[in-house]
């Protein structure tokens, strides 16, 4: 684990523990790495409810409730699908926060419109969904690892913003 990831995880752990809020994950391109990172800290069972590795579109649809038409019209690697994934896992688990990842980690699978390294991350809270597109470089494992760091950074930023509103 990198020191950057460790620092971000410390912040997420502290904020979720202090506020007694929960989080769940819906992962495609990260394939479980995000959930694994979130459960790295002792005491994570107080806030991590669970996750789904929705790699196949059929799992995105059947378990997370992603609309078939959305997948057909904009594709799995899109803001819309990332948002629907986050809302789907939040609905399933009842978590305060939900994080989703969907992207193209490579080395193949990219297109001109969505090259390898294109990733969407969404973070949902009780009122809204924030989505961000990432354009990452590197190997498959580097893209997946960087996605986890970026997703947790976004979550930490949203948690901090939520704390400011209290």
Domain ranges of the chain: 3-165
pTM of the model: 0.96
Give the separation between CA 135 and CA 110, rounded to whole angstroms.
12
Q: Is 151 or 164 the better-scoring residue by pLDDT?
A: 151
pLDDT digits (tens, 9 = 90+) for 92-135: 999 999 999 999 999 999 999 999 999 999 999 999 999 999 99
Band of residue 161 on the pLDDT scale cut at 50, 70, 90: confident
Q: Give the pLDDT confidence score for residue 1 in this predicted structure.
A: 86
Would you say domain 3-165 falls under CATH 3.90.950.20? yes
Q: Above 50 in pLDDT, residue 147?
A: yes
Question: Residues 30-47: what's their mean pLDDT?
Answer: 97
Q: Give the pLDDT confidence score for residue 38 in this predicted structure.
A: 98
Q: Above 50 in pLDDT, residue 166?
A: no
Q: Give the pLDDT confidence score for residue 74 in this predicted structure.
A: 98
Band of residue 164 on the pLDDT scale cut at 50, 70, 90: low
Q: Give the pLDDT confidence score for residue 52 in this predicted structure.
A: 98
pLDDT digits (tens, 9 = 90+) for 44-96: 999 999 999 999 999 999 999 999 999 999 999 999 999 999 999 999 999 99
Question: Residues 11-18: what's their mean pLDDT?
Answer: 98
């Amino acid at each position: 684990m990198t020191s950057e990831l460790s620092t971000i995880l410390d912040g997420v752990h502290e904020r979720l523990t202090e506020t007694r809020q929960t989080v769940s994950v819906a992962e495609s391109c990260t394939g479980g790495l995000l959930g694994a990172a979130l459960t790295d800290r002792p005491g994570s069972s107080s806030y991590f409810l669970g996750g789904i590795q929705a790699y196949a579109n059929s799992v995105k649809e059947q378990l997370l409730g992603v609309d078939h038409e959305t997948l057909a019209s904009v594709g799995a690697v899109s803001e819309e699908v990332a948002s629907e994934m986050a809302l789907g896992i939040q609905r399933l688990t009842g978590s305060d926060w939900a994080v989703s990842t969907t992207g193209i980690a490579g080395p193949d699978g990219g297109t001109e419109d969505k090259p390898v390294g294109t990733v969407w991350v969404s973070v949902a809270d009780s009122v809204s969904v924030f989505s961000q597109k990432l354009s990452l470089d590197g190997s498959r494992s580097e893209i997946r690892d960087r996605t986890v760091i970026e997703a947790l950074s976004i979550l930490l930023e949203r948690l901090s913003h939520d704390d400011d509103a209290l």
